[in-house]
Structure 1
């Protein structure tokens, strides 16, 4: 059996202080057999639990004050029975020991039913003591958070709301662009279809397959009803009053191009020839040298006179 080692002989200090033995002293102690495996491992003493019943009762007596129940509002009760579980035929634990603490739903439902039982027990007591249990309409509770904190939250909410509004606006713009492109494509297709139909009608008219000119009026004249008669309808009814007046005053027109060309008969006709007029010896007044007295001003003078007007 190993003999106990005296810590004083090894140079160890009291418990709780560091050892200051040198390497030579440790080697010498190991050579003498004073150091053995396991002796330098600290052994923890078992923890002693003190059951101070007197002190606990004293603390409990200090907690107990002669206050009425209204000031304490303490209740000790079991949870109300789970009516839904009973209606469904499920097994409901009757006490807290049967509740599985790892089941979150079961644990929270137990707390909920216990709060229900406390409310059902406390409300009649408060009403019996004439204590109001409902919050008045003009009640304003003071917030536990500071105004600065609430301003930060409000700022974040406004930023989030603005971002959502921008996103919705961009989404609507994308939809409008898609709709605009769709309408534009439909309009272009409609125009191409109308152009194709008009070209087909023109080809038929040129080939003599039809004598109708309805395609010249266009869709706008066809769609506008009651906006007045078209040009084709006006021509069918006859000329208007202005045209009739001009026809009466100036005639009905006729061939105008080539009317002043000379012919053989007009060339040989000398009845209208007047030599005095032809050679400058007519009844007009002339100045010296046989020139006209009323001379026409030059081009530059005419331009200046026109500018004065």
Structure 2
């Protein structure tokens, strides 16, 4: 290891000796101001462009000699004629120098017509050589991507479609719930309104403000139907013995409500009024209690008697 270190040290010293300037000399030059930025950087000289037209032509000729036209498919031709300009009466056949490079529409049309001319020239040549230019009906192109990759894409598309369908179903359910809730609220409001109207009609009838029972049409209908059914049954079989006994005892009914209401005559009639009975001066059966008086005084009297003593 010691010999190796010595060899390295000797190599560094020999490199410093072989260099043009040592560290001390560089320090002195820097202190004097002789060294400036960029002096020790190797600057690359700019390359002058060379437009060798003859060399390019020579390379092109070599390519043409080595490869047939079917392999190259190169064509050099002017743009095709503008049919629309001829129909309109305008004769316009632009050359390379007549195209304005700043006009995007004119430039793109020039490229389009030049490609059209190339196709019109290349198709007859390919047909002469027996090369098919149309795709057959039973042509199956090889996929650029693998089947596994396409399966992943298909799964992603299916998941997206399912998510969209679920969101659509959820949206429809929300709309149906909103509509159902709206209908339910309307039904509840209608029932409350009918109930309120019926209660008002019942109150008016109870107060005697009206004698109509139109609010009981539904009940009357059901009552009529049941009465008709019972009448038919009675006509067939006749009334039962229980019914006959009640009719004989109580009669056939009649107006029962309002019997206890006061009238002007009943209010003014005081012939049946008995003060002793009304004020509780008589006991049961109109007789006084034992001895005629209570033997024991009341609680308040007893307290007074105690306070006096």
| Category of TM-score, reference length = shorter chain | 0.5 to 0.7
Any conservation in 2 of the 1:77–1:118 contact (CA below 8 Å)? yes
Query: How far off is 1:232 after superposition?
Result: 1.4
The equivalent residue for 1:153 is 153
Deviations 1:88-117 (A, max 9, x none): 999x993566354695x6655554444333
The equivalent residue for 2:246 is 254
Q: Higher relative contact order by CA 8 Å / sep ≥ 6: 1 or 2?
A: 2
Distance in 2, matches of 1:217 and 1:30, equals 120
Any conservation in 1 of the 2:81–2:93 contact (CA below 8 Å)? no
Distance in 1, matches of 2:20 and 2:238, equals 141
Matches within 5 A, 1:171-210: 171-206=171-206, 207=208, 209-210=210-211
Matches within 5 A, 1:25-174: 25-27=25-27, 40=40, 42=42, 44-49=44-49, 56=56, 59-65=59-65, 69-80=69-80, 94-95=94-95, 98-100=99-101, 103=104, 110-127=110-127, 131-174=131-174
Relative to structure 1, is the Cα distance of residues 40 and 230 closer, same or farther in structure 2, using a 3 angstrom cutoff? closer
Any conservation in 1 of the 2:79–2:117 contact (CA below 8 Å)? yes
Any conservation in 1 of the 2:79–2:116 contact (CA below 8 Å)? yes
Alignment size in residue pairs: 230
TM-score w.r.t. structure 1 length?
Answer: 0.53
Query: How far off is 1:183 after superposition?
Result: 1.0
Query: How far off is 1:239 after superposition?
Result: 0.8
Task: Name the SS for the 1:64 alignment partner.
Answer: helix
Query: How far off is 1:235 after superposition?
Result: 2.6
Deviations 1:214-270 (A, max 9, x none): 63417xx9xxxxxxx844145358612267526156553416999xxxxxxxxxxxx
Distance in 2, matches of 1:89 and 1:193, equals 82
The equivalent residue for 1:299 is none
Flag structure 1 segments of 5+ consecutive residues without an equivalent: 1-12, 222-228, 259-309
**CA RMSD between the two structures:** 4.8
Deviations 1:164-188 (A, max 9, x none): 2232222222212221221112111
Structure 2 residue 239 is matched with structure 1 residue 241 = no
Flag structure 2 segments of 5+ consecutive residues without an equivalent: 1-14, 251-309
Any conservation in 2 of the 1:99–1:106 contact (CA below 8 Å)? yes
Greater helix percent: which structure? 2
Query: How far off is 1:58 after superposition?
Result: 5.1
Relative to structure 1, is the Cα distance of residues 109 and 58 closer, same or farther in structure 2, using a 3 angstrom cutoff? closer
Distance in 2, matches of 1:23 and 1:251, equals 143
Relative to structure 1, is the Cα distance of residues 189 and 65 closer, same or farther in structure 2, using a 3 angstrom cutoff? farther
Relative to structure 1, is the Cα distance of residues 247 and 173 closer, same or farther in structure 2, using a 3 angstrom cutoff? same
TM-score w.r.t. structure 2 length?
Answer: 0.53
Distance in 2, matches of 1:27 and 1:251, equals 143
The equivalent residue for 1:7 is none
Deviations 1:5-42 (A, max 9, x none): xxxxxxxx9xxxx9673231235567999x57686564
Moved more, 162-171 or 67-76: 67-76
